[in-house]
Amino acid sequence: MQVLVRYCIILLLVCVTAAASGQYYLRGEVKTEQNTALQNARIFLHTAKANYYSGADGSFGIIMRQQEDTVTITLDGYEPQTLHVKAGIWQRITLKSIITKATKNKNKLISITMDKKQTHTAKWSVSDETYFQLVENEFVETAVYPNTGYSLNVNKASYSNVRRFINGSSEVPPDAVKIEEMVNYFNLMYTEPERGKTFAVTSTTSDCPWNTQDRLLFVNVCARKLSLDSIPPANFVFLIDVSGSMDDEKRLPLVQAAFQLFVKNIRPIDTVSIVTYGGGVRVWLQPTSGSEKSVISNAIEELLPNGDTPGEAALQTAYTLAQKTFIKGGNNRIILATDGDFNVGETGEKELEELVARYKNLGIYLTCLGVGTGNLKDSKLQVLAKKGNGNYAYLDDLNEAEKTLVQELTQTMYAVADNALLNVEFNPKVVGQYRLIGFDNRRTAMNEADYLLEGGEVGSGSSVLAIFQYTPQGTQNSTDELARLQIRYAVGKDTSAYRVSHTVNQSYIPFDTLEQPLQFATAVTAFGLKLKNSSYAKINWDQIMELSMYANKSQFLQNEFATLVEKAMYIYEPKRKKKAGKKKKP
């Protein structure tokens, strides 16, 4: 009896302690007025001052410290809602759509330094192609602005686009050069995260070849790999531009060949649909099982170019089809292939952003594949992919199509993290000033007073390498840390905002003994700075040629890069080619 009484007392104490420590559970769901689940809605818990997110089915579960609290729910394209909530009561939260809201949303940046605005801009135009005017990140004083951050969602379109210009013996538009995309095109320094972890983070410091007074900090974030045998079923909608502008060997025929390669990896549990637009919008292939590869392949083969480009109507049709065949818990994704020319319908980028953002919130993502020369709408495809929580690749040839859709299939099409951001806080005792190389923002976004850093989707097995240039100060061999990093991200249906921390020590390695992939990354960075005519890198072509020798000649893409540098040198300094030609004569 005494044992029983003692047990009851202990149980009572446990319950009281649990209540006192705040073990209250708030559960609920976020949906539209049409009862459609909204994922990635931000749920701000006022007392804890913490953010949580709704899962793929719109549901959420949050541990609270007290039984009642206040929450604010926000999501792009919907009215924010603040309400009083109580643990134990299922919260049915309905967000109202505001059609005009998207054009008034805060501008989203891919990098940001706290309280610091950049000022330098460059202008360039080429044929009928369009590129965002970019604002290059400047040096900032660490003592005043120690914090900076950037999105872990990195496209790879810039490198293949730069390659297209150089192979065509043409100078590259400076705004087409996105250094972070060029560096990460090669997926360098991949490190498998520890078992059960989403990310592996490494950091290294070394010399800066174009400024001996400065150093470079390499920050590498690697995402875990998914096995094709274990990834969820996919609902793919191929949205293919078959308009008259696609009537070129490097456009529709290349797109067809690319999708033919992609179809080879489709599984029986996957579903494929095809929507075409050119002189009208048509569901070219109704939802078809991946087991019927020949049916899908024949449908792709029969495509012919014709007519104008009703892009907005085509996007709407593709999203509607994807919604009808939506796979709960699966990979629901539209793959848009186009030269980017949307000349009929809601052609404005803001209107298209609004459409894509609404469906992203419903769990349908967008991947963009750009093709073509002279008409490429890089700016439009870039923003669509960003707002669609997907990625953007430029296909300049069949090898690039194979790289994007076969070799890097899981990186391109399957995510391991959403809304991923990385924040860096530099130590002013050892870092006088710093600047993030690449990750440049649009001028129009920087001109607005109201902006936010936007997280992104991180693909399976991807490696995101960022490079900072900084000026050391103080004692560099001390035990003082150089910086602190923190990654914030969400995973699938989980409503928590996960965080990974990493301390950057003063682990300086001379450039000559630096690991080859980082030496090569420095070469790519220097090349990009030269093409941008950056004022932050006073480096000549001979120095870039010397750095390009760090390319691994046994790897095709790195070896190709070294050749590309030489071609570019002759394009930008044609007198060199004439001199080289004279030397070769007997």
Helix (H) or strand (E) holding 28: strand 24-32
As a whole number, mean pLDDT of residues 105-110 equals 55
- The model's confidence at residue 579, banded by pLDDT at 50, 70 and 90, is low
Residue entry with tokens 């997907």? 390
When the pLDDT of each residue in the chain is averaged and rounded to a whole number, the result is 84
State the pLDDT at residue 134: 81
Asked whether residue 161 carries a pLDDT value surpassing 70, the answer given is yes
Closest by alpha carbon to 467, among 207, 101, 169? 207
State the pLDDT at residue 62: 87
Asked whether residue 337 carries a pLDDT value surpassing 80, the answer given is yes
For residues 565 and 578, what is the distance between their CA atoms, to the nearest angstrom?
Answer: 17
Query: What DSSP string describes 93-153?
Result: EEEPB-TTGGGGSPEEESEEETTB----B----BTTBB-PPEEPPPPEETTT--EEEEES-
As a whole number, mean pLDDT of residues 473-481 equals 77
Tokens matching residue 5: 């009484």
Helix (H) or strand (E) holding 459: strand 456-459
Q: Which residue has the higher pLDDT, 5 or 363?
A: 363
State the pLDDT at residue 220: 96
Asked whether residue 348 carries a pLDDT value surpassing 60, the answer given is no
State the pLDDT at residue 6: 53
**Cα-based distances in Å from 146 to 13, 142, 360, 371, 485:** 46, 4, 33, 40, 12
Is residue 245 within 8 A of residue 339, CB to CB? The reply is: yes
- Summarised one tens digit per residue, pLDDT across range 31-75 is 888 788 888 788 888 887 777 888 777 888 888 888 888 888 988
- Summarised one tens digit per residue, pLDDT across range 488-526 is 988 865 656 788 999 999 889 999 999 999 999 999 999
Asked whether residue 98 carries a pLDDT value surpassing 80, the answer given is no
As a whole number, mean pLDDT of residues 238-262 equals 93
Percent of the chain exceeding pLDDT 70 equals 84
As a whole number, mean pLDDT of residues 281-298 equals 96
As a whole number, mean pLDDT of residues 273-300 equals 95
Asked whether residue 262 carries a pLDDT value surpassing 50, the answer given is yes
Is residue 456 within 8 A of residue 151, CB to CB? The reply is: yes
- The model's confidence at residue 452, banded by pLDDT at 50, 70 and 90, is low
Asked whether residue 299 carries a pLDDT value surpassing 70, the answer given is yes
Tokens matching residue 18: 């649990």
As a whole number, mean pLDDT of residues 323-336 equals 93
Residue entry with tokens 């803001």? 350
State the pLDDT at residue 385: 87
State the pLDDT at residue 113: 61
As a whole number, mean pLDDT of residues 126-149 equals 84
